[in-house]
Amino acid sequence: MAAAGDGWAAAREKFRSARALSAVESRKDPATEPFRSKYAARALLEEVKQLLSGAEEGGDAVRRAVLEYELGVNHADTEELSAGEEHLLRCTRLLEPQRLSRRCVALYIQAQVGAGRGPRRRGGPRRGHASPLLVSPQNNLGILWSERDEIKTAQTYLESAEALYHQYMKEDGNPPLDPSEHFMEEDEQLTDQERSKRFEKAYTHTLYYLAQVYQHLEMIEKAAQYCHTTLKRQLEFSGYYPVEWALNAATLSQYYLSKQCFMEARHCLAAANVIFSQAGQVPSAEDNEAEQDQQDLRQRKAEIARCWIKYCLNLLQSARKLLEDNIGELDLDRQLELKAQRKKEEDEKENGRKKAVLFVTSDICDSVLAMEEKVSCAYPLDFQEAREIFLVGQNYVHEAKEFFQVDGYVTDHIEIVQDHSALFKVLAFFEEDYERRCKMHKRRVDMLEPLYADLNPQYYLLISRQLQFELADTYYEMMDLKVAIGNRLEELDSHTIKKINLLAQLAIKYYELFLDSLRNPDKVFPEELEEDVLRPAMVAKFHIARLYGKLITSDGKKQLENMQTSLEYYTFLVDYCEKYPDAVRAVETELELSKEMVGLLPTRMERLRAKLCAFI
Amino acid sequence: SVEGDAIKVYVRVRPPSEGTALPDGDQGLCLSVLSTNTIRLHSKPEPKIFTFDYVANMETTQESVFSSVAKNIVESCMNGYNGTIFAYGQTGSGKTFTMMGPSDSDNFTHSLRGVIPRSFEYLFFLIEHEKEKAGSGKSFLCKCSFIEIYNEQIFDLLDSASAGLFLREHIKKGVFVDGAVEQVLSSAAEAYQVVLTTGWRNRRVASTSMNRESSRSHAVFTITVESMEKHNEIVNIRSSLLNLVDLAGSERQKDTHTEGLRLKEAGNINRSLSCLGQVITALVDVGNGKQRHICYRDSKLTFLLRDSLGGNAKTCIIANVHPGSRCFGETLSTLNFAQRAKLIKNKAIVNEDTQGNVS
């Protein structure tokens, strides 16, 4: 018995060294021998296995399973997958009969996860993590079915681990033993609190791997749900970096936006803000580094602000979609209808869905709710409601711009200004007064034009084109509004005519600049348009045609010229679509109208010509 | 024209290194070159045919690689356009040989010199030619910088003392590395001797002193060509960039889109799941044309070369492959990457909606 006791002490000692080698030493291995410590650890584990099989009484099944598990992980880490798999399977086989026991459940789950898990990435910690990674042995798990592109197999293992967790929690629920404890003395054993912490974290990882599996299998909704649950569990068991957590939550909000789930999106963003505020000051030894960290922190804050901007923008745009009639104006009947509907829903108060997705199981609950109250998640139905969302969005625009200044962050800065412009555009939709609406569009011009003027298209071709098009469209819209205002008057005064013509010419100018950007180095317009610029180019041509038609002049000859130019642009559309029938799909409405105009204009011009001749 | 827009892809097959191929011919090789633009990969059960802009077989000379890949790009650089040449492929597939030439030679006139020294020669030849043609009215200024991206950090290879530089954008000048040394060049020999050999040596030195392998870092060499032309009182300045990029071995790029259906490992159970963000980002990416912002940025390399990857520039990728059958997996992934690269185009997503404008 004494000999066996000695053997046991030796086994424990070797086991401990192996773990240390594997987890700590292996990080310092030279690039030429990346697995030196791992191999040394493996040799030790094999020795322990020998010792245990020699001494029957010490070699109970669970300890042997722990060894098999460690060996499996070791082989997988050193890129010997098949051997690793064998060990892990042996481990699970040993544990199978008692997998639901307190002694085994944690190990069994980890073996399953290991068997389904992705590859261990070698190389240093990723940038952005200020402190070195803490070493946590039980995280260094097993075999990578996914390495062999067998996601389905990985899924099976992971799902069974998930099921086992639930079954255990239901049937037993006591903090299970941590695998490392099987090689510890009685007095070294962990507290129940520590056990529970480790167990829950291992389970969080199971969910995290499942999120990836579902993402790879393109089960997007399920993947999002698992991402959400992972985040939630990180909060519950306080295993997270605040900044990273906040960024993840903010990014997840963008997923919900694409699904039009505004309540969920808002919740993620509110939680992101609250958790981010915990990050606070980062202490650092060197001033230089501290400054860098501060800069980093400011950037993250601005990134979250940008997610909020998108939230406000999407909410407004979706509301607009609901409310607009077939010519893009506010549909008053629809507005009444939606208001009535909302009233009804408020009375019914459907709260069931909301509970399921909340993060707030902890002390941040109140802060998150307070954060959420600052902006609605319901579709705005009139100008007043739209304006409130607009203002929140605009505040985040200012916040984001504080960091993303044009000097140093050209692309980001312009993207934010574009969002700002888009916010004004959608707010204008809710505005009933045309003069005021026009002023909102003028604000857009004022923010975009100077940026465009400075921007070098040699480096920023794409953004440059976007700005050209947006400016053209804004002027176009302003002209339309001026025409509408003019139509209410008894007679067009010269001031309004001048204004309309000026706006039309500016719109033409920017559409032409856009079209010119498509020319090749020899200034030739492409014979066939690339698919990605096809629609914008055609729309630009079409709008120019219409703009020439709108120009007001009392000079008959000038008018004839404008009609001629207009006809040429309409003809371009018709001819192009005849030559490239594939293009028709992209511009159906525009083509139809162009055809009509190509039919009508010559007759009109003929009439005008006759009238002009009559005067002479 | 259509030809200028898409990225050109050139595949080069290096001769098998000793020990990979059997001496008596085809056996041990995993591919064969069928024509100047097709390649057959002996995959099972069906062989796979790939088509590229050019395929260079093992016999292709350095001169011929240069004239079909780089000549055109250097010329358009003289005409004010930005140009980029990438070398892509696994370690040992011949990237550095293609770009620089034999590794043991600092000799600018070596007959096996690669694309980079030849591009210098040609660039300065064109500059001299232009100067002669235009007389005193035209002058040129060439500057260069040489940086290395390792582990998402930027190092200046012309200033070995510096570390951790940052990328910034200028509204007129585009993306630049803040604080990177810019050296003025007056001749091709100078460019090669002074800058490249020093820079390259720094790269190699760095690979031992800081325990990093050169194949794990990207090296980006950039020449800025500025021309100044005087017509009476009007001064016309034009500037363009030529980027020559030696990418890290493709087998190391598991973080980028080349990665297949693998699961990403959790960073650390105690603190964080550093990759969760990537998973979420992928979810958001799938989203429809909705307005959204994704908090996680592209890599430093793609940011730096944003114009080249689907921008207003002439870009060429040289995909280097090793024909040995042992390299089958990496070769397949390189060819797949090259195939995808051909699809990269300048995506001009113009924000337009015509609702209500058609009336």
Question: What is the spatial distance between Cα B106 and Cα A384, in angstroms, rounded to a whole number?
Answer: 72
| Least confidently predicted of A63-67, A518-522, B109-113, B207-211 | B207-211
| B171 vs A contacts (CB less than 8 Å) | 406-407, 410, 451, 454-456, 460
pLDDT in tens, B35-60: 888 999 887 778 889 999 999 988 89
- B266/chain A closest Cα distance in angstroms: 7
pLDDT in tens, A231-277: 988 888 877 888 989 999 999 999 999 999 999 999 999 999 999 99
Query: Which pLDDT does position B250 carry in this prediction?
Result: 67
**Long-range interactions of A48-54: CB distance < 8 A, separation 24+:** A48/A11, A48/A14, A48/A15, A48/A18, A51/A7, A51/A10, A51/A11, A51/A14, A52/A11, A54/A7
CA distances, A494 to each of A396, A583, B82 (Å): 42, 41, 49
- B355/chain A closest Cα distance in angstroms: 6
CB neighbours of residue B336 within 10 Å: 16
| Least confidently predicted of A68-82, B31-45, B166-180 | A68-82
- In this complex, which of B263, B290, B306 lies closest to A209 when CB atoms are compared? B263
| Least confidently predicted of A125-134, A511-520, B295-304 | A125-134
Nearest Cα neighbor of B259 from A139, A118, A224 is A118
CB contact under 8 A, A248 and B79: no
Q: Which residue of B has its CA nearest to A150?
A: B261
Question: Which site among B2, B177, B276 would you substitute to test the A interface, given the most A Cβ atoms closer than 10 Å to its Cβ?
Answer: B276
Query: Which pLDDT does position B229 carry in this prediction?
Result: 81
Nearest Cα neighbor of B200 from B250, B259, B157, B156 is B157
More confident residue, A201 or A449: A449
Asked if the model's pLDDT at residue A528 lies above 60, the reply is yes
Q: Which of A219-223, A609-613, B201-205 has the highest mean pLDDT?
A: A219-223
Asked if the model's pLDDT at residue A558 lies above 50, the reply is yes
Question: What is the spatial distance between Cα A415 and Cα A403, in angstroms, rounded to a whole number?
Answer: 13
Query: Which pLDDT does position B270 carry in this prediction?
Result: 42
Average pLDDT over residues A433-459: 94
Asked if the model's pLDDT at residue B355 lies above 80, the reply is no
Query: Which pLDDT does position A369 carry in this prediction?
Result: 86
CB contact under 8 A, B262 and A144: yes
**ipTM score of the complex?**
0.80
Per-window interface: A 149-178 vs B, CB < 8 A: 149, 151, 154
Asked if the model's pLDDT at residue A117 lies above 60, the reply is no
Architecture category of domain A57-119+141-182+189-240 in CATH: Alpha Horseshoe (1.25)
Instruction: Compute the mean pLDDT over every residue in chain A, rounded to the nearest whole number.
Output: 83
CA distances, A382 to each of A98, A263, A334, A388, A478 (Å): 63, 19, 11, 10, 22
Are A11 and A44 a contacting pair, CB within 8 Å? no
Beta bridge partners of B175: B169
Asked if the model's pLDDT at residue A16 lies above 80, the reply is yes
**How sure is the predictor about A286, in pLDDT bands with cuts at 50, 70 and 90?**
low
CB contact under 8 A, B293 and A533: no
Query: Which pLDDT does position A140 carry in this prediction?
Result: 27
Q: Which residue of B has its CA nearest to A33?
A: B211
Query: Which pLDDT does position A141 carry in this prediction?
Result: 30
Tell me the backbone φ, ψ of residue B32, rounded to 5 degrees.
-140, 145
Query: Which pLDDT does position A312 carry in this prediction?
Result: 96
CB contact under 8 A, A422 and B291: yes
The number of C-beta contacts closer than 8 angstroms across A and B is 270
**How sure is the predictor about B104, in pLDDT bands with cuts at 50, 70 and 90?**
low
Average pLDDT over residues B279-289: 74
| B351 vs A contacts (CB less than 8 Å) | 418, 422, 466, 469-470
pLDDT in tens, A85-96: 788 888 888 887
A528 touches chain B (CB under 8 A): yes
CB contact under 8 A, B151 and A476: no
| B274 vs A contacts (CB less than 8 Å) | 126, 129, 244
More confident residue, A363 or A555: A555
**How sure is the predictor about A281, in pLDDT bands with cuts at 50, 70 and 90?**
low
Nearest Cα neighbor of B294 from B302, B285, B303, B305 is B285
Query: Which pLDDT does position B353 carry in this prediction?
Result: 43
- In this complex, which of A147, A247, A520 lies closest to B277 when CB atoms are compared? A247
Query: Which pLDDT does position A138 carry in this prediction?
Result: 24
Q: Within chain A, what is the greatest distance between any pair of CA atoms? A: 129
Query: Which pLDDT does position A446 carry in this prediction?
Result: 97
| B206 vs A contacts (CB less than 8 Å) | none
Are A183 and A16 a contacting pair, CB within 8 Å? yes
Tell me the backbone φ, ψ of residue A127, rounded to 5 degrees.
-60, 150
A117 touches chain B (CB under 8 A): yes
Query: Which pLDDT does position A323 carry in this prediction?
Result: 92
Which DSSP category does B197 fall into? I
Question: What is the spatial distance between Cα B12 and Cα B31, in angstroms, rounded to a whole number?
Answer: 12
**Long-range interactions of A545-548: CB distance < 8 A, separation 24+:** A545/A569, A545/A570, A545/A573, A545/A594, A545/A597, A547/A476, A547/A479, A547/A504, A547/A507, A547/A508, A547/A511, A548/A508
Question: What is the spatial distance between Cα B306 and Cα B153, in angstroms, rounded to a whole number?
Answer: 17
Instruction: Bin B155: left if φ > 0, else alpha if -120 < ψ < 50, else beta.
Output: beta
Query: Which pLDDT does position B349 carry in this prediction?
Result: 41
CA distances, A42 to each of A38, A59, A241 (Å): 6, 18, 33
Are B162 and B225 a contacting pair, CB within 8 Å? no
Nearest Cα neighbor of A202 from A164, A170, A228 is A164
Query: Which pLDDT does position A295 carry in this prediction?
Result: 85
CB contact under 8 A, A309 and B213: no
Task: Show the tokens assigned to A421.
Answer: 């412009």
Beta bridge partners of B178: B166
Nearest Cα neighbor of B116 from B179, B199, B180 is B199
Average pLDDT over residues A217-233: 90
Instruction: Compute the mean pLDDT over every residue in chain B, rounded to the nearest whole number.
Output: 77
Question: What is the spatial distance between Cα A101 and Cα A95, in angstroms, rounded to a whole number?
Answer: 9
CB contact under 8 A, B349 and A304: no
Instruction: Bin A86: left if φ > 0, else alpha if -120 < ψ < 50, else beta.
Output: alpha
pLDDT in tens, A349-396: 655 555 555 676 667 788 888 888 888 889 999 999 999 999 999 999
Task: Show the tokens assigned to A410.
Answer: 């050209």
CATH 1.25.40.10 intervals, chain A: 57-119+141-182+189-240
Q: For chain B, what's the residue count?
A: 359
Average pLDDT over residues A66-81: 79
| A458 vs B contacts (CB less than 8 Å) | 80-82, 174, 240, 312
CB contact under 8 A, B291 and A528: no
- Percent of chain A whose pLDDT exceeds 90: 41
Nearest Cα neighbor of A590 from A604, A566, A607, A570 is A570
Question: What is the spatial distance between Cα A246 and Cα A252, in angstroms, rounded to a whole number?
Answer: 10
**How sure is the predictor about B12, in pLDDT bands with cuts at 50, 70 and 90?**
very high
CB contact under 8 A, A473 and B292: no
Which helix (DSSP H) or strand (DSSP E) does residue B68 occupy?
Answer: helix B62-69
Average pLDDT over residues A156-179: 85
Question: What is the spatial distance between Cα A412 and Cα A113, in angstroms, rounded to a whole number?
Answer: 40
Are A202 and A242 a contacting pair, CB within 8 Å? no
